[in-house]
Structure 1
Amino acid sequence: MEVIRSNFKDNLNKVYEAIEESDFLAIDGEFSGISDGPSVSALTNGFDTPEERYQKLKKHSMDFLLFQFGLCTFKYDDAEEKYIMKSFNFYIFPKPFNRNSPDVKFVCQSSSIDFLANQGFDFNKVFRNGIPYLNQEEERQLREQYDEKRSQANGAGSLSYLSPSSAKCPVTIPDDQKKFIEKVVEQIEDLLKNEESESLELEPCTGSVSEITYLLKNVFILKERYIVISKVDEEERKRREQQKQAKEQEELNDAVGFSRVVHAIANSGKLVIGHNMLLDVMHTIHQFYCPLPDDLSEFKEVTSCYSFSKLIPFIINNTSLAELEKRLKEVPFSPPKVESAEGFPSYDTASEQLHEAGYDAYITGLCFISMANFLGSFLSPRKNHVSARSKLVEPFFNNENQVCLTVWRNLPMVTSIQIPQNVGIDMVG
Structure 2
Amino acid sequence: MEVTRSNFRESLPTISSAISKASFLAIDGEFTGLQKGVNLHAFDTPNERYQKLRQGSMDFLLMQFGLCAFEYEATTKRHIIRAFNFYLFPKPFSRQAPDVCFSCQSSSIDFLVSQGFDFNKLFREGIPYLTPAEEQKSRDALESKYNQLDMMSSPAFTSPTGADTAVAKGPIEIPSEHKQYVEDICKQVEELTAEGNTSQTLELKPTSAFQRKLVYQTLKLKFHAGLHLETKTNNNRQRYIVISKVKNAEDQKQKEESRKAAEMEELENAVGFSKVIRMISQSGKLVVGHNMMLDVLHVLHQFSCPLPESYEDFKSLTRCVFPRLLDTKLMSSTHPFKDWIINTTLGDLRKLLENKPFEKPVVESAEGFPAYTTDNEQLHEAGYDAFITGLCFIGMSKYLGTFQSPKKEHIPPSSPLIEPFLNKLFMFRVQDIPYMNLAGPDLQPSRDHVFHLSFPKEWKTSDISQLFAPFGNVYIGWLDDNSAFVSLYKKDEADRVLQNITTGDTFSVVAYKDFIERMQKSSSRKHNIPASDLDLPVKKRQSSSPLNVNASPFQSTRSITPIPEEMEEENNGTVNMDDLGEPLAKRMKTDCKSGSEKKLFDEPENW
- TM bin, normalised by shorter chain, reads 0.7 to 0.9
Q: Which of 299, 302, 324 does residue 317 from structure 2 map onto?
A: 302
Does the 8 A contact of 1:336 with 1:366 survive in 2?
yes
Partner in structure 1 of residue 269 of structure 2 = 254
Q: What is the alpha-carbon distance in structure 1 between the residues aligned to residue 141 and residue 276 of structure 2?
A: 23
Counterpart Cα distance in 2 of 1:96 and 1:290: 18
In structure 2, the CA distance between the partners of 1:329 and 1:214, relative to structure 1 (3 Å rule), is: farther
Q: How does 1:246-395 map to 2 (within 5 A)?
A: 246-311=261-326, 312-314=330-332, 315=334, 316=338, 317-395=342-420
Q: What is the aligned partner in structure 1 of residue 161 from structure 2?
A: none
Distance 1:44 1:86, change over 3 A: farther
Per-residue Cα deviation, 1:60-118 (whole angstroms, up to 9, x for no partner) = 21111111101100111122111000111111111121222222111111111111111
The separation in 2 between residues aligned to 1:29 and 1:228, in whole angstroms, is 47
What's the CA shift string for 1:247-291, capped at 9, x where partnerless?
Answer: 122101111111111111111111110011110011111111211
Distance 1:98 1:328, change over 3 A: same
Is the Cα–Cα contact under 8 Å of residues 274 and 364 in structure 1 kept in the other structure?
Answer: yes
Is 1:220 the counterpart of 2:228 in the alignment?
Answer: yes
Partner AA of 1:232 in structure 2: N
> For the structure 1 residues 228 and 325, does the alpha-carbon distance in structure 2 shift closer, same or farther, using more than 3 Å as the test?
closer
| Distance in 2, Cα, partners of 1:397 & 1:261 | 22
Q: Give the drift of 1:24.
A: 0.9
User: Is the 1:308–1:413 contact (alpha carbons within 8 Å) kept by the matching residues of 2?
Assistant: no
- 1:69 aligned residue: 65
- Uncovered stretches (5+) of structure 1, i.e. residues with no partner: 192-197, 405-411
How do 1:22-421 and structure 2 match up within 5 A? 22-37=22-37, 43-45=40-42, 47-154=43-150, 157-159=153-155, 161=157, 169-174=169-174, 207-212=212-217, 219-221=227-229, 227=243, 229-234=245-250, 236-311=251-326, 312-314=330-332, 315=334, 316=338, 317-398=342-423, 402=427, 413=438, 418-421=584-587
Distance in 2, Cα, partners of 1:159 & 1:274: 60
1:409 corresponds in structure 2 to none
Aligned equivalents of 1:20 and 1:214: distance in 2? 52
The whole-number CA distance in structure 2 between the counterparts of 1:141 and 1:307 is 25
Counterpart amino acid of 2:109?
I
The yes-or-no answer on 1:12 pairing with 2:12 is yes
Question: How many Å separate the matches in 2 of 1:420 and 1:217?
Answer: 78
What is the distance in 1 between the residues matched to 2:425 and 2:116? 36
CA distance in structure 2 between the partners assigned to 1:172 and 1:125 by the alignment: 44
1:224-251: CA deviations, max 9, x gaps?
Answer: 77855534254x4554344233312210
The DSSP-based 3-state class of the residue aligned with 2:49 is: helix
Identity rate, percent: 46
Q: Secondary structure at the match of 1:99?
A: coil
Q: Secondary structure at the match of 1:70?
A: strand
- After superposition, the C-alpha distances for 1:308-353 in whole angstroms (9 at most, x for unaligned) are 4443444234221112111211222211111100010112212321
Unpaired runs of 5+ in structure 2?
Answer: 159-166, 206-210, 232-239, 430-436, 443-582, 590-598
**SS state at 2:69 partner:** strand
Alpha-carbon separation, structure 1, partners of 2:69 and 2:296: 18
After superposition, the C-alpha distances for 1:175-224 in whole angstroms (9 at most, x for unaligned) are 8799x99xx9xx99xx9xxxxxx99999x995333232687786514697
Task: From the superposition, tell whether residues 157 and 339 of structure 1 become closer, same or farther in structure 2 (CA, over 3 Å).
Answer: same
SS at match of 2:102: coil
Are the structure 2 counterparts of residues 33 and 222 from structure 1 closer, same or farther at C-alpha, using a change threshold of 3 Å? Answer: closer
Kept in 1, the 8 Å contact 2:420–2:584? The answer is no
**Partners of 1:85 and 1:341 within 8 A in 2:** yes
Q: Which has the higher contact order (CA 8 A, sep 6+)?
A: 1
CA contact (8 A) 2:291 2:426 kept: no
- The residue number in structure 2 matching 1:407 is none
In 2: Cα distance, 1:214 partner to 1:260 partner: 40
Match of 1:195 in 2: none
Partners of 1:56 and 1:225 in 2: CA distance: 49
Structure 1 residue 33 displacement after superposition = 0.8
Deviations 1:356-382, CA, capped at 9 Å, x for gaps: 111110010011111222222222221
Distance 2:245 2:421 in 1: 67
- Which TM-score applies when normalising by structure 2? 0.59
| Alpha-carbon spacing, 1:213–1:420, altered in 2? closer, same or farther (3 Å) | farther
SS in 2 for 1:128: helix
Deviation at 1:146, TM superposition (A): 1.5
Aligned residues: 401
- Asked if 1:425 is matched to 2:600, the reply is yes
CA distance in 2, matches of 1:109, 1:168: 51
Whether contact under 8 Å (1:274, 1:361) holds in the other structure is: yes
- Kept in 2, the 8 Å contact 1:26–1:365? The answer is yes
DSSP 3-state at the match of 2:125:
coil
The 3 A distance-change label for structure 1 pair 341 and 230 is same
TM-score by length of 1: 0.82
Gap change, CA 1:157 and 1:335, over 3 Å in 2:
same
Cα distance between partner residues in 1 of 2:27 and 2:313: 24
Task: Report the RMSD for the aligned CA atoms in angstroms.
Answer: 3.7
What secondary structure, in the 3-state scheme, does the structure 2 residue paired with 1:88 have?
strand
> 1:194 corresponds to which residue?
none
Residue 327 to residue 201, structure 1, CA distance change in 2 (3 Å): closer
CA shift digits 1:375-420 (9 cap, x unpaired): 222222211011112233234324576489xxxxxxx948798143
CA distance in 1, matches of 2:331, 2:168: 59
C-alpha change, 1:271 and 1:44, in structure 2 (3 Å) is farther
Give the aligned residue type for 1:90: F
Contact 2:228-2:245 within 8 A present in 1 as well: yes
